[in-house]
Structure 1
Amino acid sequence: MKFKAKDIAKKLSISPSAVSIVLNNKPGVSEETRKKVLKTIEQMGYNATLLTKSAFNHKYNMRFIIYKKHGYVVSDTPFFSALMEGIDREARSRGYNLILTYIDENKDDLTKIINIIKETHPDGIMLLATEMTSENLKPFKELNIPLLLLDSYFENESLDTVIINNIQGAYKATCYLAESGHTDIGYLHSSVWINNFDQRMVGFKKAIKNKGLRLRENFIFRLESTIDGSYRDMLKILNQKSELPTAMFADNDIIAFGAIKAMKEVGLRIPQDISIVGFDDMPFCELIDPPLTTIMVYKQRMGVIALKRLVERIEESPPETIRIEVNTTLIERNSVMKC
């Protein structure tokens, strides 16, 4: 007879993850619950010792899929490392084995990977959807496995989603520049599309409007979203333009870093000539000269929240889908001049 933790959980009116904690001999449940679970397992004809070693571990698997469309944004950076740390820690605390899968749209055979996923029967799938489009979701939805999207959402899809509150973060950054006395505020916008950057544009424009400033389309500069790429693109812009804003908001810290490098090369001082605010609060923000004022994203917390919701989806099958937006915080350093 195949072991099903859900049967034990249902009989005792507890969650399947509580059963997993007991079988993995981890803290997180009371001693009374632990004894009840082990007793019920024996009463139902299972061997708890064997389950701990084999059957349970084969049953409770969760896949975290990192989907790369172009790789300009999704890469091995501290942002995604911190996100992964939060997911992995929470998965282990709940007795789930986390299987990491990378998909590169330009290199991998998606059909083959989907078939592998089918064969391994994961209990749930978390998709890092940063670079994904709605069309990319189709094969994953067709698996009919509990699914959660992380770091992007699509209005036409009814799926659980955990994202950054990008509008709030960009709005906060732009308002900070305005409240620092800047009236000519530019935007270092990624030339590579992702949903996050579109939402940050919305927040930027909203702040400009609410602060009574004029939106200068000629002050919206499109830069590649790598350090080298944003450096090269910014250098071209600086060599061609005679008029520049006194302050700029950047889609992320990487773009800001590349742009600052170019500005320094042509003799501009940060923040005396141009003030800059980034987004993400990457570790290097404290190390560059000057240290970068930026928007902090609670990366580990996002991972924990996402894992909790996916477990809820697996164990309780709630009828509603939800979108959770995690707010951001402004980190003041030395890259903004008060006018």
Structure 2
Amino acid sequence: MKIDDIAKLANVSKSAVSLALNGKNGVSKETRDKIIKIAQEHGYIPRPIIKADQYFPTSSKLLRFVACTNEGIVTEHYETMPFFTELINNIDKQIGSNGYSLIVSAISIKNLKEEIARLEQEQKSAGILLLGTNLTPEQINIVSSVQPNLVVLDTCFETLDVNFVVMNNIYGAYQAGKYLIELGHKNIGYVESTTRMYNFDMRRKGFLQALEENDLKIAEHNYFSISPTVITSQEEFKIKIKDQINKLPSALFCEADYMAISVIKSLSELSIQVPNDISIIGFDNIFESQVITPELTTINVKKDRIALLAVEKLIREIDNNENDKIKLFVDTDLIERNSCKAVR
């Protein structure tokens, strides 16, 4: 989070942000309060003018949610992506009900060690909820070395002495595979993310397991790769579809809902109807999955449950000095809508 970002969110100039955060005249009280509120919500504290405790609660009741941004999955605009928005909102509800306050901080993955140390130096937290979606074990260990009261969300590395709470990716994708097979699909395709991470790798494992148990395989030409972070028609995908228009799979599993919605848009532009010509199933159950036409059949990730378990564990570590580390997998649900149909 930079001054430029705060200025955009507040719809004011950078100079107005500087004046407000430095306690100088030149901006109205209403504007100053608005800017400070945005800075508080995003964990931004300018150095060295503002004292942290001027606007933020004491460290004993402060929890920090940290997202490490890059150009892959967790971009600088990650908070606009439905999955992360829903997760953060659920975390905030759980924290508030337990008498704690939440600061949301976004830092660059390139300067992880320096940035996490800076955040904790400027405003010490009682514990960190770390969005681990795009992080390596080494990077997670860096955060753990700075703040040992740590729970990592949205990924899991079993060999680390760290708490993890994550959706059961293998089970969810296995559910998706079994569902398509029960509908009679045998010629099934797979749409994978161009950017790889733990969640996607586990989903691929679970989906292929469901197929293997039923003596099915995915033909090499039925693997497709698209971007996981935008909802738009995908040109390379359309080209590959057109190249095999006479031998299309009857169903496609997409590693995330964003990808599934992009696939539906792309197929529509080629006059290929979902689900009459091809069935589509996604993963995540984001809000947009209900407003696309047709509504998307998907795997529901229980973001509220993940948030509850993560916050409860972190608070137990803080309040009760609970040192036992845990790895929690939260099972998923199949949400049946209108993007899949049985094979005749």
Provide the TM-score with structure 1 as the length reference: 0.79
1:232 aligns with 2:235: yes
Aligned AA (1:70) = E
Q: Distance in 1 between matches of 2:70 and 2:57?
A: 35
Q: 1:104 aligns with which of 84, 101, 108?
A: 108
Contact 2:208 2:217 in 1 (8 A): no
Aligned AA (2:170) = I
1:300 Cα deviation from its structure 2 partner: 2.0
1:148-297 maps to which residues of 2 (within 5 A)? Answer: 148-227=151-230, 231-242=234-245, 243-297=247-301
Contact 2:107 2:115 in 1 (8 A): no
**Residue aligning to 2:20:** none
Q: Distance in 2 between matches of 1:112 and 1:293?
A: 40
Q: Distance in 2 between matches of 1:100 and 1:257?
A: 28
Aligned AA (1:66) = A
Q: Distance in 2 between matches of 1:287 and 1:219?
A: 27
1:83 aligns with 2:87: yes
- Relative to structure 1, the CA distance from residue 100 to residue 227 in structure 2 (aligned partners, 3 Å threshold; closer, same or farther) is closer
1:230 Cα deviation from its structure 2 partner: 6.2
1:55 Cα deviation from its structure 2 partner: 11
- Unmatched segments (≥5 aa) in structure 2: 1-54
Deviations 1:102-127 (A, max 9, x none): 11325x67514422313422111110
Aligned AA (2:73) = Y
Q: Distance in 2 between matches of 1:266 and 1:173?
A: 25
- Relative to structure 1, the CA distance from residue 229 to residue 73 in structure 2 (aligned partners, 3 Å threshold; closer, same or farther) is farther
**Residue aligning to 2:23:** none
Provide the TM-score with structure 2 as the length reference: 0.78
Deviations 1:218-240 (A, max 9, x none): 31211111335662231121133
- Relative to structure 1, the CA distance from residue 73 to residue 182 in structure 2 (aligned partners, 3 Å threshold; closer, same or farther) is farther
1:123 aligns with 2:122: no
1:330 aligns with 2:331: no
**Residue aligning to 1:61:** 62
Please state whether the residue corresponding to 1:158 is helix, strand or coil.
Answer: coil
Q: Distance in 1 between matches of 2:340 and 2:263?
A: 15
Contact 2:168 2:332 in 1 (8 A): yes
**Residue aligning to 1:16:** none
1:310 aligns with 2:314: yes
**Residue aligning to 2:146:** 143
Root-mean-square deviation (CA, aligned residues, Å) is: 2.2
Moved more, 237-246 or 143-152: 237-246
| Larger Rg, first or second structure (1 or 2) | 1
Q: Distance in 1 between matches of 2:179 and 2:87?
A: 27
Q: Distance in 2 between matches of 1:240 and 1:77?
A: 32
Contact 2:113 2:143 in 1 (8 A): no
Contact 2:116 2:146 in 1 (8 A): no
Q: Distance in 1 between matches of 2:113 and 2:251?
A: 43
- Relative to structure 1, the CA distance from residue 246 to residue 120 in structure 2 (aligned partners, 3 Å threshold; closer, same or farther) is same
Q: Distance in 2 between matches of 1:84 and 1:213?
A: 38
1:99 Cα deviation from its structure 2 partner: 1.3
